[in-house]
Amino acid sequence: MCGRYSFILEDEMIRERFGVTVRSAIYKARYNCAPTQKLAVISNENPEELSLYRWGLIPFWAKDAAIGNKLINAKSETILEKPSFKNSFKSKRCLVLSDGFYEWRKGSVTTPFRILRKDGSAFAMAGIWDRWINPEGEEIRSFAILTTTPNSLMAKIHDRMPVILDRETEKLWIENSTPEILMEMLKPCPASTLLAYPVSTLVNSPRADSPEILEPAGDSIS
């Protein structure tokens, strides 16, 4: 799964990397993105502008927003089978912006790792979104991150990883592509492009959101 990540790019860097308008008044850099927070995405509905959607997909037919707490990830292999995800996969897709994600390696001691590109560059994870109206009539846009089987690096840490899109396929992901083309994108990125290093257990708390979270707590693996 993918339960935490970071995205700390400055406004101008976001504009240059992803080619979108950024409203500085709403965007906030985060070292520890967590479920239920409003986070940076680029949606197929508004591909020219950075938007903030709630992490944890609330399907349009849901009776209660709490369902979103369980739907932070969508498994790629069954995306077309699950009622919660299949409609969004077909027509409501987004890029979830990140510069690194966290995963926990279980053992005698559970160790959090930060995984990022070797060159430190930002990337986009494949996401789906939906629109839900709460009982007060408020519209909430929310998203889930698609996951896939691990590459050889991630297999040392966890049995799942987020779908990290190539720069060449980011635009294709949010265009009106066929299900066959979309499914081809849902695979692990090459292990050779990533590195991972252990971090402090500060990341365990969703309330923690500071640069200290990024600091290495041991040697990196790649």
Range of the domain at 174: 4-214
pLDDT of 154? 97
In a domain, 221, yes or no: no
pLDDT of 140? 97
pLDDT of 81? 92
What backbone phi and psi angles, to 5 degrees, belong to 180?
-65, -45
The reply to whether 103 belongs to the active site is yes
pLDDT of 60? 95
In a domain, 38, yes or no: yes
Q: How far apart are CA 149 and CA 142, in angstroms?
A: 24
172: domain CATH number is 3.90.1680.10
**Bridge pairing between strands 73-75 and 139-148:** parallel
In a domain, 220, yes or no: no
Number of CB atoms found within 10 A of residue 81's CB: 9
In a domain, 219, yes or no: no
pLDDT of 115? 98
Query: What does pTM read for this prediction?
Result: 0.96
Low-confidence ranges of the chain (pLDDT < 50): none
In a domain, 81, yes or no: yes
pLDDT of 158? 97
In a domain, 113, yes or no: yes
In a domain, 175, yes or no: yes
Count the domains in the chain. Answer: 1
Q: How far apart are CA 98 and CA 1, in angstroms?
A: 15
Nearest alpha-carbon partner for 201 in 112, 131, 115: 112
Question: Catalytic pick from 33, 103, 170, 189?
Answer: 103
The reply to whether 2 belongs to the active site is yes
Question: Catalytic pick from 2, 33, 94, 189?
Answer: 2
pLDDT of 28? 87
In a domain, 106, yes or no: yes
